[in-house]
Amino acid sequence: MLVGGSYLAHRLWRSSGRFAGVGCLALFCSQAALAVAPYGSFTGESNIDPGVMQIDEPSYLGAPIRKDLAMVDSNGDSFVLGEMLGKPVILLFSYYGCGGSCPIMNTLLEQALADIDRFELGKDFSVLTVSFDRHDTTESMRTFVDENELSSLDSSGWRHAVLQNKKADLETLTSSVGYKFFWSRADEVFLHPNALIFLTPQGRVARYLYGTSLAADNIEKALIDADWGRISNSSNVIDILTGVCYSYNFKEGKYTFNLSLVAGLAALLFGLSLIGLSTLIYRHKIRLNKEIS
């Protein structure tokens, strides 16, 4: 496990471009990244097995989230989580005093979304970054957004937020999606997964993607998973075929081509075509015999 870098390191990373960003991602974050905390030690476990932070995905896929959780965004507007539903939502947990993996995750997501042509942020889906740190305030949130040049996103369907009732609602929200985080007193850092959580328009967990899988292609497929009800009833054949031909590989943490399913479908279509061809030949022979007789 590595300790998240400083804000200066993040600024250097951002200015160096996407390919440098991939290298920094490998350095600063993994599925259980560490991030520098902005305040002193408080009681808590010091030595924690990072394995306990792994999200038990099969247990939470399809799980509902509370829609009445009250939040405040970086513009100072109050809202409840349910107001963002009705379309898929990408939920990203961060904390606003972080100078390492959290800014990088937000920036990588911003870059990946810029490469998506099939779905439009704000129209087809939304993004919600919410703090899991009960010490975060609207002031620390605005500082995070401004310093990481994310303020332009707030009007495009992406909200950065803090919970209004952190003491009661923070545990409710994180536990409903299986998200675990810990404070290391010895290192004065948070340990937490760097994951995107895709919610359906009805507010159920559809997919998890981790920091190493933030490619536009993976995000597109996860959005199809999250909005499959609408996609399957639409006329967009490409999205339908994408949803059928690709499946999420839990072991690799990314979408892979479903070769066995496609081979099975191809075999089925080939068999049906043979049956159809045989039927046509048989009918043709019967018609010829009738003409001869």
DSSP 239-274: HHHHHHHEEEETTTTEEEE-HHHHHHHHHHHHHHHH
What average pLDDT does the segment 69-83 reach?
96
The pLDDT > 70 percentage for the chain reads: 64
* Per-residue pLDDT at 253: 59
* Per-residue pLDDT at 199: 96
* Per-residue pLDDT at 62: 92
User: Bigger pLDDT: 70 or 17?
Assistant: 70
SS3 142: helix
Distance from C-alpha of 139 to C-alpha of 148, rounded to nearest angstrom: 14
Distance from C-alpha of 14 to C-alpha of 5, rounded to nearest angstrom: 13
**Token pair 């390492």 in the structure block, residue:** 100
**Token pair 């006329």 in the structure block, residue:** 235
Most confident of the ranges 54-63, 64-73, 175-184, 221-230: 64-73
Measured from the Cβ of residue 275, the count of other Cβ atoms closer than 10 Å reads: 10
* Per-residue pLDDT at 52: 67
* Per-residue pLDDT at 183: 80
Sheet of strand 182-184, all strands in order from the earlier edge strand to the far edge: 33-36, 189-192, 182-184
pLDDT digits (tens, 9 = 90+) for 215-239: 898 899 899 888 866 544 444 444 4
Measured from the Cβ of residue 3, the count of other Cβ atoms closer than 10 Å reads: 16
The pLDDT > 90 percentage for the chain reads: 43
- Indicate whether 66 pLDDT > 80: yes
Give CA separation, 79 vs 67, 83, 127, 181, 291, in Å: 10, 7, 14, 25, 78
- List the single range of 60-64, 79-83, 200-204, 240-244 with lowest mean pLDDT: 240-244
User: Bigger pLDDT: 147 or 27?
Assistant: 147
User: Bigger pLDDT: 185 or 105?
Assistant: 105
What average pLDDT does the segment 201-219 reach?
89
What average pLDDT does the segment 2-16 reach?
44
**Token pair 């303020």 in the structure block, residue:** 151
* Per-residue pLDDT at 197: 96
What average pLDDT does the segment 182-201 reach?
85
* Per-residue pLDDT at 265: 52
- Indicate whether 16 pLDDT > 50: no
3-state secondary structure 150-217: CHHHHHCCEEEEEECCHHHHHHHHHHHCCCCCEEECCCCEEEECCEEEEECCCCEEEEEEEHHHCCHH
pLDDT digits (tens, 9 = 90+) for 261-293: 445 555 556 566 767 777 777 676 777 777 676
- Indicate whether 141 pLDDT > 80: yes
SS3 132: coil
What rounded mean pLDDT belongs to the chain? 76
Work out whether the CA dihedral 220, 116, 215, 7 comes out positive or negative: negative
- Indicate whether 13 pLDDT > 70: no
| Of 64, 25, 31, 56, residue with least CA distance to 191 | 31
User: Bigger pLDDT: 155 or 260?
Assistant: 155
Backbone φ, ψ for residue 247 (5° rounding): -130, 155
DSSP 22-89: HHHHHHH--TTEEEE-SS---SS-SS--GGGGS--HHHHTT-B--S--EEEETTS-EEEGGGG-SS-E
**Token pair 């948070």 in the structure block, residue:** 190
| Of 165, 157, 210, 176, residue with least CA distance to 72 | 165
Q: 29 falls in which pLDDT band (50, 70, 90)?
A: very low
